[in-house]
Chains A and B, each alone.
Chain A
Amino acid sequence: LAKTTQPISMDSYEGQEVNITCSHNNIATNDYITWYQQFPSQGPRFIIQGYKTKVTNEVASLFIPADRKSSTLSLPRVSLSDTAVYYCLVVAGGATNKLIFGTGTLLAVQP
């Protein structure tokens, strides 16, 4: 599975849009990009998953360029409760269900 690289930390203010970029240069044809969120003292929670172009749900949007070597998680109008660690993962469709978590990005939202 492709290794992912993302910023260790980011700061934002309430009401701003936050974009977290993840690079995955060695992504394979059958791989998908998945993002999980982890609040302190809780287990990770699935946010969004995509293969290419753009995916949007009630929580976030995921932008994936044509070469798929990177992706951007976009959180619209963040609030204090969005302070968490965000993990970018590359997962293999139709293959093993092993999730490999990296270091994640600690997003700190300030008032």
Chain B
Amino acid sequence: GENVEQHPSTLSVQEGDSAVIKCTYSDSASNYFPWYKQELGKGPQLIIDIRSNVGEKKDQRIAVTLNKTAKHFSLHITETQPEDSAVYFCAASSPWNNDMRFGAGTRLTVKP
């Protein structure tokens, strides 16, 4: 089955700096890659997703890139703010099954 690896496990940046979180996946059939933000005591909330027919997607300060050949995708947050502090999870799913596999999560801390 699919295996998603995520790095780093913790990331601390200064407010205004950029943050990058990277994930790799094992199943070449995977074609949907969402990113979730989880704040303390809450469920994961989708912040951006990308499908394998595009290489990059951007939404304001958040962007995701996908390299299908290398089987990795990354989340980029620019101009970070303290409210960006949370745990971020990447995930992957394929059209052949109805499950979604998550990475281990990255705890992002943005210091004011």
Q: Do A and B come from one complex?
A: no
* Interface residues of B, Cβ cutoff 8 Å to A: none
Measured CB to CB, the residues of A under 8 A from B are none
